[in-house]
Structure 1
């Protein structure tokens, strides 16, 4: 059965992006440091056309995160541009250039309708204005039995968690303090979220904490 999975890097004080996000600095002040653990990995570099890289305890965690994914969901804030709003001339196609790293359908939750955007490498961005449940339904159909990855950002991940729609959550906890920005686990309201820890992996510059969301979790 298709699952909704989320892997996200987070600071020790709970932020998935730093303060003062902008088009020039989409992860905010200090936010790039949340991904220092993954960028040197050979498993990360090779799909981006780069040679060499490290192999360490993070390697199997990262490789597992890419397995059995048939589609994805992300929030408008992650797709960009910062500040959201109407699409204007529709020239914006995300942060990733002409060949985004996904290579499967991606469903972007937004308030503003837009025609799908086909990119190189098999990535097509679809824009969903009917809410998080509709986006997930469409993604699961597109995934054809494979899992759906929830790429973030923090606000959309929090919404899926509170709604009881998330099946797995893996936090890549980085020992930095950002002091502000986009916090992942604030404002869950009355949601009864129950987690079961699956594993903990210590690796250079990061600790990977994987949780299964227990049945019955809902808002």
Structure 2
């Protein structure tokens, strides 16, 4: 059976993105501190999660906001938006991007192919599972809405939370609207920059 995992950053007050996400502020205003554990730390706990995130899986699934700041039809952007990561993104696998607007597949270096799915979460997840195969792994890469939908659909097996010691006060909460969610801690490590906890998702559906 296909294994489905996700890693998500979260503040002490439960936000995974600050307000007003944009090209200038990809994680929202005030959330720049989220980058410190990933790019500014040599602590073994932080480096282990970075290595895990950069280890290719069989397929990925992400929301459109995770792919970039473009809103509305893709043609509304001045030029072709090709993601935040340059010509060699860190996924090295097919990536299904959930969107309301059709777009041709985007092939980049390193085995990165972005496939744009307009049929909603269920269709996008089924497409990712088909690419991964029955013994493969799908990584839900974000953002908040896509991870929440995976939890609500009951398909997420493991959720790793990287809790950053900051209060954002506003933005998008990762676990909002999931009153039935139950998590079993599997592994925990910490640094001065973040606490990394990997959970098994036991009761994934909201209201359960």
2:75 maps to 88
* TM-score normalised by structure 2 residue count: 0.89
Residues 69-218 of structure 1 correspond to what in structure 2 (within 5 A)? 69-82=57-70, 84-88=71-75, 91-144=80-133, 145-188=135-178, 192-214=180-202, 217-218=204-205
Q: Check conservation: 1:164, 1:218, Cα contact below 8 A.
A: yes
Count of residues in correspondence between the two structures: 203
Alignment root-mean-square deviation, CA: 1.9
Residues 58-69 of structure 1 correspond to what in structure 2 (within 5 A)? 58-67=46-55, 69=57
Counterpart Cα distance in 1 of 2:56 and 2:95:
15
* TM-score normalised by structure 1 residue count: 0.85
Counterpart Cα distance in 1 of 2:55 and 2:28:
29
Deviation string 1:108-166 (CA, Å, 9 cap, x unpaired) is 01111111111112111101111112212211221233211111011111111122111
Which range moves more in the overlay, 191-200 or 62-71?
62-71
Secondary structure, counterpart of 1:155 in structure 2: helix
Displacement of 1:66 in angstroms is 4.1
Q: 1:209 to 1:153 in 2, by over 3 A?
A: same
Deviation string 1:58-91 (CA, Å, 9 cap, x unpaired) is 3333333444611100001111225x21111671
Q: Check conservation: 2:144, 2:172, Cα contact below 8 A.
A: yes
Secondary structure, counterpart of 1:121 in structure 2: coil
Secondary structure, counterpart of 2:9 in structure 1: strand
Q: Check conservation: 2:145, 2:174, Cα contact below 8 A.
A: yes
Q: 1:72 to 1:87 in 2, by over 3 A?
A: same
